[in-house]
């Protein structure tokens, strides 16, 4: 088996049963903000586009690049479609002309001659754009796991496919941006450091659990080549950004888990696996070029910025004309109010007014009353400032996921009073009837958490109120605070109150003699 790095989360897998093109992206993505690091334009995209199978892990535009697919990937390719609760990804692919679709049932092995594959989807509101997935591949000569951006809860089921020899996983995510918040600079630096540390710990949790002999960090970080975003590359010029690059992570991994082998996986990296034997070569870049990319990163990034402004300008020219404020308000009101009326759990979870300053439009979304109107001085729990051309473009395109467009672009500002509100973020990426109904039903199903377990001197519900992780495996208690290691969510066990986000209380009580509780695994991982 041969795996070639295509940049960011992209890879080309050659097996005895055919080749698989995974998440090919050239970009730029998210309103011209993200470019793959390092530059991957010089790859042989015609060759990779002639693959036997296409696998798009999820709809985030740093994984799904419609322009790249249109240009390079043949229309009759066999598409391995993850089993998601809504048809958004399938509809996107069919709109591009890809109709040769194979539906991959959740966690089931599919065979294509010598090739075996399994796609494991995640479907919670917080999983990517309402869905994320991993790909397992085995052709008899080797087995690999492309976990990508996904954070699976049931690793035992995932690893029952086969023991992976090579493990490819995200180590540098973009869940939220401390940089865009209305915060003092030292607070931004503090939160950025916490997020980088949490990402490292979460990545190491999976690396230790999967326990593959060969580990390849991938799926980030991006390059920010827009002038106004350039300083946020990597850890930021002022140490207030969140992206750890692959080489930095490999240095960390070598310190905390030296028994496993980690490798740089960038455009042109070629990994050959054959019955346990491994060979890693580089087919695109010289050693000197790689040293320049990582050892003189800011110089390399500046070179990329200065040479690629035509791509930034082309993206800006593709945006919609700015709508007048009254027309924009009418469009959003007609679009969002019917969804708000269906989103009772989300409305209760947000529990207040959210202000949007969009160019000359100043509007408020009254979640309790399911209303959109002009702002009139109401007290708000969140307030956004967003360029009017981005919103006008989303209205033109009827973009149902503003996280997968505006918010991942980092071209906005935000402030809040109180904690992060997951329900608000969920609403802004569920701007369709199908998505709202799915998420409302999902939240309703999560309320039935009947089994309790004992963790130290506490009895708590077994399933995490956030994404139902098994707390016997992911939970740790210190000083009466429970931390779930998957997403670093915390609860005060005395009150049951979630310390990370509004809502999501936990059921817990302190009882050293709780004989009826199920014993928990005493070797729970350290909190993220």
Q: Is the CATH code 2.40.110.10 the one for domain 2-312?
A: no
Burial of 287 per CB tally in 10 Å (0-12, 13-18, 19+): exposed
pLDDT of residue 450 exceeding 90, the answer is no
Q: Give the confidence band of 515 by pLDDT, cuts at 50, 70, 90.
A: very low
- Between 110 and 219, where is the model more confident? 110
* Dihedral sign computed on CA atoms, order 261, 266, 272, 275: positive
The count of other CB atoms within 10 Å of the CB of residue 493 is 23
Please provide the average confidence, as pLDDT, over all residues in the chain: 92
Structure token pair of residue 105: 């049932």
Q: Does 113 have pLDDT greater than 50?
A: yes
What is the reported pLDDT for 337? 98
State yes or no: pLDDT of 422 exceeds 50: yes
Of 75-79, 436-440, 473-477, the one with minimum mean pLDDT is 473-477
| pLDDT given at position 62 | 94
Instruction: Work out the pLDDT band at 474, boundaries 50, 70, 90.
Output: confident
Q: How confident is the model at residue 488 (pLDDT cuts 50, 70, 90)?
A: confident
Phi–psi pair at 287, nearest 5 degrees: -60, -40
pLDDT at residue 78 tops 60: yes
Question: Quick one: pLDDT band at residue 124, thresholds 50, 70, 90?
Answer: confident
Check if the beta carbon of residue 391 is closer than 8 Å to that of residue 406.
yes
pTM: 0.86
Residue 244 confidence (pLDDT) above 80: yes
Average pLDDT over residues 493-520: 72
Residues 250-270 pLDDT 10s: 999 999 999 889 999 999 999
Q: What is the mean pLDDT of residues 349-366?
A: 97
Q: Average pLDDT in the 406-416 region?
A: 95
Residue 315: pLDDT band by 50, 70, 90 thresholds? very high
The percentage of residues in the chain with a pLDDT greater than 90, rounded to a whole number, is 78
Structure tokens at 528: 């993220």
Question: 325-442 domain in CATH 3.30.1050?
Answer: yes
User: Does the pLDDT at position 328 exceed 50?
Assistant: yes
- Mean local confidence (pLDDT), 385-403: 97
- Please tell me the least confidently modeled range out of 31-40, 336-345, 490-499: 490-499
**Residue 401 CB: number of other CB atoms within 10 A?**
23
Other C-beta atoms lying within 10 Å of the C-beta of residue 312: 18
pLDDT at position 522: 33
pLDDT at residue 379 greater than cutoff 50: yes
Greater pLDDT, 115 or 468: 115
Q: How confident is the model at residue 527 (pLDDT cuts 50, 70, 90)?
A: very low
Identify the pLDDT of residue 446. Answer: 72
pLDDT greater than 70 at residue 467: no
Q: Quick one: pLDDT at residue 516?
A: 43
Residue 502 has pLDDT above 90, yes or no: no
**Taking the domains of the chain in order of start, what are their residue ranges?**
2-312, 325-442, 448-519
Which CATH number is 448-519's, of 3.40.50.2300, 3.50.50.60, 2.40.50.100, 2.102.10.10?
2.102.10.10
Judged by phi (left if over 0) then psi (alpha if -120 to 50, else beta), residue 394 lies in alpha
| Average pLDDT value for residue range 353-380 | 97
- Cα(268)–Cα(47) distance, integer angstroms: 13
CA distance 95 to 432: 18
Whether residue 485 has pLDDT greater than 90: no
Give the pLDDT band (50/70/90) at residue 473: confident
What is the reported pLDDT for 449?
58
**Is the pLDDT at 464 greater than 70, yes or no?**
yes
| 130 torsion bin: left (phi>0), alpha (psi -120 to 50), beta (else) | left
pLDDT tens-digit map of 142-194: 999 999 999 888 888 889 999 999 999 999 877 678 999 999 999 999 999 99
């Amino acid at each position: 088996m041969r795996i070639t790095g295509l940049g960011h989360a992209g890879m080309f897998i050659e097996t005895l049963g055919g080749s698989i093109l995974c998440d090919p992206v050239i970009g730029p993505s998210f309103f011209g903000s993200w470019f793959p690091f390092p530059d991957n334009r010089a790859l042989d995209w015609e060759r990779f586009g002639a693959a036997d199978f296409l696998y798009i892990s999820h709809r985030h535009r740093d994984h799904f690049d419609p322009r790249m697919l249109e240009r390079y990937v043949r229309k009759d390719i066999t598409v391995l479609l993850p089993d998601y609760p809504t048809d958004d990804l399938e509809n996107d692919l069919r709109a591009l002309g890809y109709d040769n679709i194979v539906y991959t049932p959740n966690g089931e092995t599919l065979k294509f001659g010598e090739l075996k594959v399994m796609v494991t989807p995640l479907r919670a509101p917080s999983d990517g754009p309402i869905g994320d997935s991993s790909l397992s591949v085995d052709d008899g000569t080797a087995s690999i796991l492309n976990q990508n951006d996904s954070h699976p809860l049931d690793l035992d089921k995932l690893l029952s496919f086969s023991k992976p020899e090579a493990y490819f996983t995200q180590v540098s995510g973009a869940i939220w941006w401390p940089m865009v918040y209305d915060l003092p600079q030292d607070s931004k630096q503090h939160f950025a450091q916490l997020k980088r540390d949490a990402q490292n710990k979460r990545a190491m949790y999976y690396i230790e659990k999967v326990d593959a002999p060969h580990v390849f960090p991938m799926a980030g970080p991006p390059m920010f080549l827009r002038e106004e975003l350039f300083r946020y590359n990597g850890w930021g010029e002022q140490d207030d950004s969140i992206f750890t690059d692959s080489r930095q992570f490999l240095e960390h991994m070598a310190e905390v888990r030296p028994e496993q082998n980690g490798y740089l996986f960038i455009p042109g990296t070629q990994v050959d696996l054959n019955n346990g034997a491994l060979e890693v070569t580089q087919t695109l870049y010289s050693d000197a070029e790689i040293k320049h990319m990582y050892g003189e990163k800011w110089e390399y990034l500046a070179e990329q910025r200065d040479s690629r402004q035509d791509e930034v300008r082309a993206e800006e020219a593709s945006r919609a004309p700015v709508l007048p404020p009254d027309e924009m308000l009418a469009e959003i009101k007609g679009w969002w109010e019917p969804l708000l009326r269906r989103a009772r759990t989300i409305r209760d979870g947000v529990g207040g007014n959210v202000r949007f300053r969009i160019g000359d439009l100043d509007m408020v979304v009254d979640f309790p009353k399911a209303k959109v109107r002009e702002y009139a001085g109401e007290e708000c729990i969140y307030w956004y400032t967003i360029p009017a051309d981005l919103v006008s473009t989303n209205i033109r395109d009827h973009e149902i996921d503003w996280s997968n467009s505006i918010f991942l672009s980092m071209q906005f500002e935000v402030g809040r009073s109180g904690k992060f509100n997951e329900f608000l973020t969920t609403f802004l990426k569920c701007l369709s009837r199908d998505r709202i109904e799915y998420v409302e039903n999902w939240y309703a199903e999560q309320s039935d958490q009947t089994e309790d377990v004992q963790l130290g001197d506490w009895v708590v519900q077994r399933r995490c109120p956030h994404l139902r992780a098994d707390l016997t495996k992911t939970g740790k208690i210190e000083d009466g605070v429970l931390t779930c290691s998957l997403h670093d969510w915390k609860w005060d066990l005395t009150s049951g109150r979630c310390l990370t986000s509004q809502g999501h209380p936990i059921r817990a009580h302190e009882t050293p003699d709780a004989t009826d509780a199920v014993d928990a695994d005493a070797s729970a991982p350290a909190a993220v």
